[in-house]
Chain A
């Protein structure tokens, strides 16, 4: 009994109530099966709509007994022989009854005959129950082939109905039921041929599985369950309704999607989209939205499915019609969105541009319910995230940018005064609305400068972002920082609104002890704020951000390492000696070289970028090389020898070129024959970019500075001589004939310096 007496205070209350409930449970243990059945039926009537009674019965141990009765019936075949004498009789009576039932209106009489003549005491009620509930067709089936197990079926069905009723109560009830292993018992029940019983089991399973407290995995533990559920889909509209609901709620991971997909979910569920029952259509639609979400395999299959001669996408588009229930429009739009994002539908397809997108924009309108507005905005944000054209269309459709400003007005001042219920409702959705709006703004502004401008000019937008960054809800903070990140791609906004509203302050605060997903966004935004032209760069530097960024480079998450080193790289760009020194000190050479062997190419690239920025002006080059020259040369050698992309090697050669630009640092190259051989190799490389970078390097080595000291001149002469010896002049000469104009130009300049 999992939920037994959580608080001592309730003991006395419970003991009183349980006394009156006890007899319900006691009756389940009666030796006479007829009495047991009546007991179950009475229990059913007692618990309907009564949460207290449900809890009582659970506490009193009704669940294990009900499950016992349920399973007992399933396994025992005793009943069959007990009740009905012979097979022959059954068949005769079965068929006799069938004709009677179908042919005329002697329905009730058929039952009477059945009751008195054929079936023993146990089946008496059954006949009445079945016929009373007007399930004529089921009745025929029941009485025809399944007469044998009927008595058991009724009891079992009633047991499941009671269990289902208990599950309708509180989450604690569900927990107790799950703890009693109700799920395997019910799944086992699905092998029974009786439709009414199957429907009862599925209904109960549905109620259990849609609860957030039920572990989804329980559906997948027995590998025979999913295929069996698929086969039950054709049994009745009810089985379709319940099973698709179960699927929709239990499909949480790509693995789940794959399991369902592999068992033919698409082929089995697609015909339900044109079912006569709205419920079935709706559940099928929901199921597809869950299956297609971020799943290329499912989405690619979906676009080719035909339902009654129509492509599935056309069926979905029809479900977007404005006179259909909002729930259906919204879910159909989700399906199309997911298919589009998975690449199954082009972003310029009419059904996306003229149907799905406008539908989602409508979902954001003030007329919709708050929940619908949240879902609409989130789905729309997801739809247009990668496509600037969709962003442009959405930004003008129905004044979306202005419409979203309304998302921040909950709870409204009106609701607070007039209506407590409304206030409660507003409060509950306020966070969700804000985060959805931020997400949508982020998506809208991710590419187009004009849209970003429009967003920042929306009433109080920057203030809203700033306060969003420090909201209690993590979801809102994350969405706000995403929005800020999107807007931070604008040079103009960085220079103006970002600085005016000092967004760096809450951003810095957010970076302290935030969860990884927030950190990724926040640090990425910080990278942009640290760009050279950003007026926020200075105050951020003064706030001591270097330590924080250095710690990010040690994170396990590659995204955070990239952002940390990227920010440092931006920070080091054209920075003064003090800042550069601080970076090198805080990062430490050890960490710097660890990053140079990072498995993530992005990290490596940004680290090389940082090095390049550190090694910029001549005094800085000489200073850093004098203290870290050995390690840097080692690292450079390593990278040039390793298996790296062109970009990495190019960046590395650029670092060498910077080193070659130093006064004293030059010698580190000149004295390293290995490196000189490598430069030579890259000057003859098939890739023009690498040739250019290598030529740059040589060009810097042979450079003779105008007006420099005579001894420097001598150094220059020595270098030129050595390089000539090594055959560089010939190579330069050859490069003056190169096809690439830049390369050609560079080689010519270098040659001129030789001549000088």
Chain B
């Protein structure tokens, strides 16, 4: 059983003979528990929310959603005492060894033994008793009517977390007719637990801030600069990388041309033009896809999806639109463009670490969590995302009520102010180098006037092309299986992609998420990493690795019961 990771562990309070209403909304409770246990994943380690109808003595009766305990025994001898414990541990407990208690009749505390020591005041009917387990310093204390009974003088109340230290909230009763109401966070606690948590959060953060870097002068700074530079190069922000390297006096370990090539490919992927992206990759890195059939397969599947989406160049030209329509920002104003944006010379912005970057750390998810898309701090040219990039989805959302959910979701991960209109998820662009390359323009050409989302852009020819491509894909998949054996990832990928065709409106279907432009990012990142690997460059930038490592450390801490991780989220340090 793994340990829990909340900073303050469990806190519950019991009201003896209280009669509070107990029909709180589940949602509210969830939110409250999240605040109380910042780092706990309830899927892994559920929190105690009520008394367990199984783990109780027969003298105990439960009511009020298993939150009220009443005693049904006669209570004549200590043998008649009965107890009940919560559904889940904080983690750890049992009755005698490794259990801790506070008795109302004498105010004594009991720690891992049957004999009590004087601890606090006695308590009785009407009193509210709380218990707080602090998994940072491994202590526990009780509260009475909102007043804490912390004892910092001796160790006799300390809990030394053993390898399997699951503590269950438990109450025991021995008086006939006695009733105890429990509050596992359903109601605000009388004791100001938030304030207590604030103090510990500050303590932990001060500890982190004060952590000695302790090396020779300047080394720390130059290391950070290196990390930033490598990050910029990795994601092909060439202009920014160049400027940064120059101002910090560093060498760039990759040729500029190479960076630009990667940049070009990434841009194609991210604008949904997979066919061109594959073609360009094959031109520039002839052996890459040949030696890496799974990668090629993934790209092709993505191409298929983009065909359905109507964005791939192969279907777009069939859809009666010029793939190279140069409508763009060089002269004619676009509906959503901002003048400020044009005035500034180079634009590079990013949304941070996509799923691929972090995949050493995070298991890949269908929907990347919003937190993995924080704007990245450094770099002089990192300005706000441009408004016009949103035109595609932005215009859709006007007509398709369903699409608004997409927008909402994506807005979450853009935190830098221009979010209201930037919903394309399109993040990689030194695109404003004007007429530098033709390709650079193309990412901007998406028609904002497109009125309705239609399969393959609405063209019959395009649909046929897509169907044909799908067949090719199917045979490629079969071929792959023969060559390399079964691959469940590939199989699922293909199945999901084909499922899009099963719905009249694929965008609103359960598999519609694949059409979301944000799904281009992991593909783009995987391809980028593969290219870098062929050049013997790291497939992940050290910056992302460091962040991933920190996150992983925290999760290991959480699993090993080190409570302080609750107050040290990586996000807190990514401003």
Using CB atoms, name the residue of chain B closest to A355: B192
Would you list which residues of chain B between 181 and 209 have a CB under 8 Å from chain A? 192, 195-196, 198-199, 201-202
Using CB atoms, name the residue of chain B closest to A394: B147
Which interface residue of B144, B147, B192, B201 has the most chain A CB atoms within 10 A? B147
Query: Shortest distance in angstroms between A69's beta carbon and chain B's nearest beta carbon?
Result: 44
Inter-chain CA distance A396–B129, complex, in Å, is 13
Going nearest first, the 9 A-B pairs with the smallest beta carbon separation are: A322-B199, A323-B202, A323-B198, A398-B150, A396-B121, A399-B151, A397-B147, A322-B195, A322-B198
A628 at the interface (CB under 8 A from B): no
B153 at the interface (CB under 8 A from A): yes
Q: Contacts of A723 on B, CB cut-off 8 Å? A: none
Not counting A358-B148, A397-B148, a sample of 14 additional A-B residue pairs whose C-beta atoms are within 8 angstroms of each other reads A322-B202, A323-B199, A354-B147, A358-B147, A366-B152, A393-B147, A398-B148, A398-B151, A398-B152, A399-B120, A399-B149, A399-B152, A399-B153, A402-B151
Would you list which residues of chain A between 358 and 377 have a CB under 8 Å from chain B? 358, 365-367
Query: Shortest distance in angstroms between A356's beta carbon and chain B's nearest beta carbon?
Result: 12
Q: Contacts of B152 on A, CB cut-off 8 Å? A: 365-367, 398-399, 403
Asked whether, in the complex, the Cβ of A396 is within 8 Å of the Cβ of B199, the reply is: no
5 pairs of residues in contact across A and B, judged by CB atoms under 8 Å: A323-B202, A354-B147, A366-B152, A398-B152, A402-B151
A321 at the interface (CB under 8 A from B): yes
Inter-chain CA distance A403–B150, complex, in Å, is 10
A406 at the interface (CB under 8 A from B): yes
B146 at the interface (CB under 8 A from A): yes
Would you list which residues of chain A between 405 and 442 have a CB under 8 Å from chain B? 406
Query: Shortest distance in angstroms between B542's beta carbon and chain A's nearest beta carbon?
Result: 33
Using CB atoms, name the residue of chain A closest to B150: A398
Query: Shortest distance in angstroms between B149's beta carbon and chain A's nearest beta carbon?
Result: 6
Would you list which residues of chain B between 138 and 192 have a CB under 8 Å from chain A? 144, 146-153, 192
Asked whether, in the complex, the Cβ of A406 is within 8 Å of the Cβ of B153, the reply is: yes
Contact of A396 among B144, B153, B196, B201 (CB under 8 A): B144
Inter-chain CA distance A403–B153, complex, in Å, is 7
Known A-B contacts A396-B121, A402-B153; A323 and B201 likewise in contact (beta carbons under 8 Å)? yes
Query: Shortest distance in angstroms between A427's beta carbon and chain B's nearest beta carbon?
Result: 23
Q: Contacts of B196 on A, CB cut-off 8 Å? A: 322
Q: Contacts of A393 on B, CB cut-off 8 Å? A: 147
Inter-chain CA distance A358–B150, complex, in Å, is 11
Q: Contacts of A355 on B, CB cut-off 8 Å? A: 192
Inter-chain CA distance A289–B152, complex, in Å, is 30
Query: Shortest distance in angstroms between A325's beta carbon and chain B's nearest beta carbon?
Result: 10
Q: Contacts of A406 on B, CB cut-off 8 Å? A: 153
Inter-chain CA distance A531–B149, complex, in Å, is 37
Q: Contacts of B153 on A, CB cut-off 8 Å? A: 366, 399, 402-403, 406
Q: Contacts of B192 on A, CB cut-off 8 Å? A: 354-355
Inter-chain CA distance A399–B198, complex, in Å, is 22
Inter-chain CA distance A614–B144, complex, in Å, is 52
Asked whether, in the complex, the Cβ of A396 is within 8 Å of the Cβ of B195, the reply is: no
Known A-B contacts A354-B192, A396-B120; A321 and B198 likewise in contact (beta carbons under 8 Å)? yes
Which interface residue of A322, A355, A367, A403 has the most chain B CB atoms within 10 A? A322
Would you list which residues of chain A between 63 and 120 have a CB under 8 Å from chain B? none
Asked whether, in the complex, the Cβ of A398 is within 8 Å of the Cβ of B198, the reply is: no
Asked whether, in the complex, the Cβ of B150 is within 8 Å of the Cβ of A399, the reply is: yes
Inter-chain CA distance A393–B146, complex, in Å, is 10
Inter-chain CA distance A316–B198, complex, in Å, is 17
Using CB atoms, name the residue of chain B closest to A397: B147
Inter-chain CA distance A477–B227, complex, in Å, is 64
Query: Shortest distance in angstroms between B132's beta carbon and chain A's nearest beta carbon?
Result: 13
Q: Contacts of A322 on B, CB cut-off 8 Å? A: 195-196, 198-199, 202
Inter-chain CA distance A393–B120, complex, in Å, is 11
Known A-B contacts A323-B201, A323-B202; A397 and B149 likewise in contact (beta carbons under 8 Å)? yes
Would you list which residues of chain B between 336 and 394 have a CB under 8 Å from chain A? none
Inter-chain CA distance A358–B190, complex, in Å, is 13
Query: Shortest distance in angstroms between B556's beta carbon and chain A's nearest beta carbon?
Result: 27
Asked whether, in the complex, the Cβ of B195 is within 8 Å of the Cβ of A398, the reply is: no
Inter-chain CA distance A282–B410, complex, in Å, is 42
Q: Contacts of B202 on A, CB cut-off 8 Å? A: 322-323
Query: Shortest distance in angstroms between A397's beta carbon and chain B's nearest beta carbon?
Result: 5
Q: Contacts of A321 on B, CB cut-off 8 Å? A: 195, 198
Using CB atoms, name the residue of chain B closest to A398: B150
Would you list which residues of chain B between 99 and 130 have a CB under 8 Å from chain A? 120-121
Using CB atoms, name the residue of chain B closest to A359: B195
Which interface residue of A323, A354, A358 has the most chain B CB atoms within 10 A? A323
Q: Contacts of A399 on B, CB cut-off 8 Å? A: 120, 149-153
Q: Contacts of B149 on A, CB cut-off 8 Å? A: 396-399
Would you list which residues of chain A between 537 and 560 have a CB under 8 Å from chain B? none
Would you list which residues of chain A between 339 and 358 have a CB under 8 Å from chain B? 354-355, 358
Q: Contacts of B147 on A, CB cut-off 8 Å? A: 354, 358, 393, 396-397
Q: Contacts of B146 on A, CB cut-off 8 Å? A: 354
Inter-chain CA distance A406–B154, complex, in Å, is 12
Query: Shortest distance in angstroms between A166's beta carbon and chain B's nearest beta carbon?
Result: 36
Q: Contacts of B201 on A, CB cut-off 8 Å? A: 323
Taken residue by residue from 385 to 397, chain A's Cβ proximity to chain B (1 for < 8 Å, 0 otherwise) reads as 0000000010011
Which interface residue of B120, B151, B152, B201 has the most chain A CB atoms within 10 A? B152
Inter-chain CA distance A446–B294, complex, in Å, is 82
Query: Shortest distance in angstroms between A346's beta carbon and chain B's nearest beta carbon?
Result: 17
Inter-chain CA distance A397–B195, complex, in Å, is 16
Q: Contacts of A396 on B, CB cut-off 8 Å? A: 120-121, 144, 147, 149
Inter-chain CA distance A321–B192, complex, in Å, is 10
Which interface residue of A355, A365, A366, A399 has the most chain B CB atoms within 10 A? A399
Inter-chain CA distance A321–B202, complex, in Å, is 11
Inter-chain CA distance A358–B147, complex, in Å, is 7
Inter-chain CA distance A399–B157, complex, in Å, is 12
Which interface residue of A354, A393, A398 has the most chain B CB atoms within 10 A? A398
Inter-chain CA distance A329–B202, complex, in Å, is 14
Inter-chain CA distance A397–B191, complex, in Å, is 12
Inter-chain CA distance A531–B543, complex, in Å, is 79
Query: Shortest distance in angstroms between A154's beta carbon and chain B's nearest beta carbon?
Result: 38
Would you list which residues of chain A between 290 and 344 have a CB under 8 Å from chain B? 321-323
Inter-chain CA distance A549–B201, complex, in Å, is 59
Query: Shortest distance in angstroms between A399's beta carbon and chain B's nearest beta carbon?
Result: 5
Using CB atoms, name the residue of chain B closest to A366: B152
Q: Contacts of A398 on B, CB cut-off 8 Å? A: 148-152
Query: Shortest distance in angstroms between B156's beta carbon and chain A's nearest beta carbon?
Result: 11
Taken residue by residue from 475 to 495, chain A's Cβ proximity to chain B (1 for < 8 Å, 0 otherwise) reads as 000000000000000000000
Q: Contacts of A365 on B, CB cut-off 8 Å? A: 152
Inter-chain CA distance A354–B194, complex, in Å, is 13
Q: Contacts of B120 on A, CB cut-off 8 Å? A: 396, 399
Inter-chain CA distance A397–B153, complex, in Å, is 13
Q: Contacts of A367 on B, CB cut-off 8 Å? A: 152
Using CB atoms, name the residue of chain A closest to B120: A396
Query: Shortest distance in angstroms between B104's beta carbon and chain A's nearest beta carbon?
Result: 14
Using CB atoms, name the residue of chain A closest to B205: A323
Q: Contacts of A354 on B, CB cut-off 8 Å? A: 146-147, 192
Inter-chain CA distance A322–B196, complex, in Å, is 7
Using CB atoms, name the residue of chain A closest to B199: A322
Which interface residue of B120, B150, B201 has the most chain A CB atoms within 10 A? B150
Using CB atoms, name the residue of chain A closest to B141: A398
Q: Contacts of B150 on A, CB cut-off 8 Å? A: 398-399
Inter-chain CA distance A403–B195, complex, in Å, is 22
Taken residue by residue from 199 to 228, chain B's Cβ proximity to chain A (1 for < 8 Å, 0 otherwise) reads as 101100000000000000000000000000
Inter-chain CA distance A366–B153, complex, in Å, is 8
Inter-chain CA distance A403–B151, complex, in Å, is 8
Would you list which residues of chain B between 465 and 487 have a CB under 8 Å from chain A? none
Query: Shortest distance in angstroms between A336's beta carbon and chain B's nearest beta carbon?
Result: 15
Inter-chain CA distance A323–B192, complex, in Å, is 13
Inter-chain CA distance A396–B151, complex, in Å, is 10
Using CB atoms, name the residue of chain A closest to B198: A323
Query: Shortest distance in angstroms between B519's beta carbon and chain A's nearest beta carbon?
Result: 41
Query: Shortest distance in angstroms between B116's beta carbon and chain A's nearest beta carbon?
Result: 15
